[in-house]
Structure formats: structure tokens, C-alpha cells
Amino acid sequence: MFIGCSTKSANEHREATNEPSPAQVVGQFGSVVISAQISKGSRFNVYCNDSWSTPQQLPVAVGEWHDYSFKIPEELTSFRIDPTEVAGAQVEIRSIRFDRLGKPTRWMPLTDLMKWLKSDTALRIDDSSKLVELTTTGKNMYLMCTVNLDYYLLKPPE
């Protein structure tokens, strides 16, 4: 939450730092870190708990492996990721990690992504690298699911 004196408004500060508004994250307690390489696009959006009109957003580090870190609320019930806004992009996901205050870190098995609701994307797991590879087939691509963080792994998958 933005606290302090500044010439910027709280909204300008949130936009500049990717800090979500209080309406987006209530009872904030941690973050999700998605390690990905994205071939093109300008923004990576994440939505929490049916807040579909107000995403958290980070710029895409085109063509580079990057850890994208987003804040998550204490009660995370649904989760949507939009790693790019353009058709024809190649996205590789190496890991999805949930860091929570006062709780052990959890890693989502990437095989779970295959069960998620998908739009405008082709998704597969590379058997040799164990990476999730997706290709966007339209500009409105997303992956979405309901979430139970305590179901996920305590150690990173091998």
C-alpha cells in the first residue's frame, strides 16, 4: 500500500510500481513469481479473485528469461494469467512459485496448467526440458483456474 509524501498521486504511484489498488488485493500476504520467457508483447497481466477489470501488470522482458512477481491476496480463490497481449507469441514457463508470509513456499506443478481454462492459446509440456510451452493464437489469450495453494508442492518440482 502506498504511504508517504509525494508529488505523485497514489494512483500514479501504483501504476509506476505495479502496486495493486486496495480493491485488487485485500488482506495481502504474499506473491506469485512466474519464471517465463516471452517472445513478443508489451505487458504481462495477472488477475486475482474475479477482479477481471483491474489486472496487475508488468512490462514484458521480450526474449529473456524473467521472474515476474505479482502480489496475491490472503484468500486466493481464482487466478488468471495473460502473459502477453499479442497473437503469435511463444511463451515458455519454467516455474510458478507462491511465496506467502508465515507459510512455506509452494510450487505449482506445471502439469496443472494443462487443466486450466484456456483461451486463444495452444499449450504443451516439453518432455525433455519440462517447460510449459504455449503459443498465443489470438490477442485475447489467457489461462485461468480456481486455486488451492495448500495443494501445491512444498519443494520445487525436479
Q: In 10 A of CB 73, how many CB atoms?
A: 17
Q: How confident is the model at residue 55 (pLDDT cuts 50, 70, 90)?
A: very high
Q: In 10 A of CB 52, how many CB atoms?
A: 11
- Please state the length of the chain: 158
Which domains can be identified in the chain, with CATH numbers? 27-151 (2.60.60)
Q: What is the pLDDT of residues 141-157, one digit of tens each?
A: 999 998 877 788 888 77
DSSP string, 76-130: --EEEEE--SSTT-EEEEEEEEEEETTS--EE--GGGGGGSEEESEEEEE-TTT-
Round to whole Å and give the CA distance between 67 and 141: 20
What pTM was computed for the model? 0.80
Q: Is the pLDDT of residue 33 over 50?
A: yes
Beta bridge partners of 46: 56, 81
Q: How confident is the model at residue 81 (pLDDT cuts 50, 70, 90)?
A: very high
Q: Which candidate, 80, 99, 95, places its Cα nearest to that of 132?
A: 95
